[in-house]
Structure 1
């Protein structure tokens, strides 16, 4: 049996690679052109840049509706009411909920890379459908299809990045996706403002806004053709040689061998288990992780972030700005988000996850409380729109600089390998369902009860979210995915004594 066949046949032996992957085999792989010439650092940057175009599409498609809705709502266009506005905005979110669930399972089956390729094609088709939609019904349908792609990207891209990155760089790489999301939203706000100011008299300006998002989809599809598959997924499918080749591109030789051994060791422990299904969540420690993941996903949306991202222009108009001024002012919100995520990427390697998340939630809750009070105390005042704009900037600085990126990172980290796709899919399903309900009801609430009462609801929810995070959220900084899984598993197997309860929030249980 040659070396290649031996590697494949022995996929669940943790010591095999260290014994059998010789220098001769490494030379063979190099001669075949399978090993990337870039340094590991540059290679990982390329992987990060290309794959996060999925995040850019996520951001643009969710942000573009902010400026397009006022033009779309005109009587000579789609003639939207507050309810149909909510449907157009939230149909994407309902699609994203389903896309996040199905995409997690699909990426477990066909691979992270191939799934991202499929999502890129879906982004393009749906973007064109929205651009040429002749009626509300057609628009809602294609926004739903676009949501399937957005939800799929929200699960698959962070998972791909988390599995491609070494433990010490995982926070930075996964958070890069959040940066691309907010960059996409910022670009949407900028294009909305430019098109609104220059072509605002044209009834079809919203179609140009929607058409632009087809371009990043093409870049993502072409770029992912050159990207490798996740090594963790390859090992799970028995393609050990390919996994080792990918790890060599992204790690030093010794690091690649050690990490492959670690991945195989984890798979060996799970080899006797059947394919991941919902029944796996009957295991107490796995169910606990799932509930924590769902709670974190819901917490992120209960901040009210997407009321600002989807309806920021309407909020600024309602506070006193003209339509075009509101479009221009909204670009400040987008720029704030981008700068805040840059700060977040820097903080991610220095600050522990949970304290950072708690600070973010405290800041967003305070910002919403001040917006509510300003709308009541300064109602009708010429200062109100500027105060509201300043407070939305404060809100976004806390949200995009801490709470938003941290939740996506935690969701990519906490689930065990065998159920990572399914578990994250379920958590993000709940994230998008929460987002859908907020997106659907917010314009109706804003029209019926005003800014004060609407934002006070989010203040109460923000307080509840902080309590949940403080009590249940686990700290994951500086641990490999395999170390986290082992510690959570050990906790689940421990006998919990009344006088000495085991704290799942501490990954290092020993």
Structure 2
């Protein structure tokens, strides 16, 4: 019966009970905690690989004689942007591979891609090879962003499903914190970015860079290998993920979706405690019923979604939510905080070290966000987020305008500014990061506003728009920071977030207090 095209149609509850009794576990018992720990290594890698670049980039600016990559401002933006574009591809392809071959299989494959990407970036001899491996690494990041939450959601029992999926999101932020911490430790071990000339160690500044570029200063060494040490660390959790996930059971729901009932029973018996989690037979029966219902539901093509007024409006709202999530400017902090602090007058080694503070605040913010989303309406959390971000970025623009930019010399170095000004920048950046992470409801909203018949296509477009916006911000930020300065750059982001605040107030629907079916009926009535 398990090979039938409709496995549940001819399987009575009595037959299912007998099949459950006759089917042994498919391997050793695995605790849910262990499964979550192993699977979320993929999310930790997601966070590490997006966060580590903030400490690596300043060393990449060093000339090749100092073991750097002689990075330029325009090239710096592409280092971040290409990872995001790779993630957009990985998110779209990763979901399909996960459906075809299994969640565990896909995570195992992604672990290999993470490893290859990390080693390739570490050994890159020039910026063009680095670009290629950043795309590869981005593919793994995007694949993990769609596969790991699905694996956890399908594996966990109802009583802790929401908690495990929330932990997955926190592991991404924790991975960024780990990256910032490793960056700080390596910077303290090897010193901030510097060059050596005639045996003299010279800290890397804009004026030194201009002297090297003009040939006025000849370099015979430096510590440009430090960025390679930062990047290679990511290979260790990739190895642990590849080994660990192979010891875990496949998602029983994926087995059910592929009409493999005995395998589903065997996998579920490895992870269920009959006393706490209820009957395995009951859960398998529920999966089969859900599978029947999903098979009978209509799935709309994009042309149908766009051609129907109320679904078109929902699609537009979802896409704008994805874009607005990145136009908050959060990745200017995740990728470029050392650059921001350096622009405010801190030495680069101190800037890289102090980035740990914003990473820790980000992690605390993500934990706070779990409580806020549980306690308050979705729209209210989003409105709090956008209001706090707009104020934070407005203050950051003011600090740059009044306390930092008047003291910049022709090379862009800070001379004579108040010694406490960079710490005010760090404080405001930390408030900004806390507001963003504690107020993030984008993923919740895009998971709830779309009815089932358009959910797959619409979520794919919304998440794709999010990653493209991520790439745009990562690419453009170093360029506008250099050409416009910190005050105008952050004023632009502040005004964008004022626009996002208006969007939340006027157009984003509330989804917390209704079932998905009730929301579908309501949206069809209101938006038609």
Both proteins in one fold, TM over 0.5: yes
| Corresponding residue of 2:339 | 314
Q: For residues 158 and 270 of structure 1, do their structure 2 counterparts lie closer, same or farther at Cα, with a shift above 3 Å needed? A: closer
For residues 238-317 of structure 1, what are the structure 2 equivalents within 5 Å? 238-244=259-265, 246=267, 249-250=271-272, 254=278, 263-271=287-295, 278=302, 281-282=305-306, 284=308, 287-317=312-342
| Corresponding residue of 1:367 | 392
Gaps of 5+ in 2: 192-221, 405-416
| Corresponding residue of 2:194 | none
Q: Scaled by the length of structure 1, what TM-score is found?
A: 0.84
| Corresponding residue of 2:195 | none
| Corresponding residue of 1:20 | 15
2:247 to 226, 246, 249: 226
| Corresponding residue of 1:390 | 427
Give the Cα separation in 2 of the matches to 1:63 and 1:122: 18
What per-residue deviation string (whole Å, max 9, x for no partner) do you get for residues 183-204 of structure 1? 1111111111111121135221
| 1:54 aligns to 2:42 (yes or no) | yes
Give the Cα separation in 2 of the matches to 1:164 and 1:474: 30
Which range moves more in the overlay, 340-349 or 455-464? 340-349
1:100 to 68, 82, 91: 91
Q: For residues 37 and 81 of structure 1, do their structure 2 counterparts lie closer, same or farther at Cα, with a shift above 3 Å needed? A: closer
Kindly report the root-mean-square deviation, in angstroms, between the aligned alpha carbons of the 2 structures.
3.0
Query: What SS class does the counterpart of residue 228 from structure 2 fall into?
Result: helix
For residues 321-336 of structure 1, what are the structure 2 equivalents within 5 Å? 321-336=346-361
Aligned length: 479
Which range moves more in the overlay, 208-217 or 455-464? 455-464
Q: For residues 470 and 258 of structure 1, do their structure 2 counterparts lie closer, same or farther at Cα, with a shift above 3 Å needed? A: farther
2:179 to 172, 188, 192: 188
Give the Cα separation in 2 of the matches to 1:292 and 1:441: 24
Query: What SS class does the counterpart of residue 52 from structure 2 fall into?
Result: helix
CA offset at residue 258 of structure 1?
5.8
| Corresponding residue of 1:436 | 471
Q: For residues 127 and 321 of structure 1, do their structure 2 counterparts lie closer, same or farther at Cα, with a shift above 3 Å needed? A: same
1:11 to 7, 14, 19: 7
Give the Cα separation in 2 of the matches to 1:265 and 1:474: 30
Gaps of 5+ in 1: 504-510
1:137 to 115, 128, 143: 128
For residues 349-498 of structure 1, what are the structure 2 equivalents within 5 Å? 349-379=374-404, 380-403=417-440, 406-412=441-447, 422-477=457-512, 484=516, 486-491=517-522, 496=525
Give the Cα separation in 1 of the matches to 2:75 and 2:161: 41
CA offset at residue 98 of structure 1?
1.6
Query: What SS class does the counterpart of residue 382 from structure 1 fall into?
Result: coil
Q: For residues 282 and 229 of structure 1, do their structure 2 counterparts lie closer, same or farther at Cα, with a shift above 3 Å needed? A: farther
Q: For residues 340 and 251 of structure 1, do their structure 2 counterparts lie closer, same or farther at Cα, with a shift above 3 Å needed? A: farther
2:25–2:265 Cα contact (<8 Å) kept: no
Larger Cα-atom Rg: 2
2:20–2:280 Cα contact (<8 Å) kept: no
Q: For residues 101 and 344 of structure 1, do their structure 2 counterparts lie closer, same or farther at Cα, with a shift above 3 Å needed? A: same
| Corresponding residue of 2:51 | 63
Give the Cα separation in 1 of the matches to 2:279 and 2:305: 33
What per-residue deviation string (whole Å, max 9, x for no partner) do you get for residues 47-69 of structure 1? 32221111111111111110111
| Corresponding residue of 2:225 | 204
1:364–1:398 Cα contact (<8 Å) kept: yes
| Corresponding residue of 1:507 | none
Give the Cα separation in 2 of the matches to 1:291 and 1:257: 42
| Corresponding residue of 1:508 | none
CA offset at residue 101 of structure 1?
1.7
| Corresponding residue of 1:120 | 111
Q: For residues 62 and 415 of structure 1, do their structure 2 counterparts lie closer, same or farther at Cα, with a shift above 3 Å needed? A: same
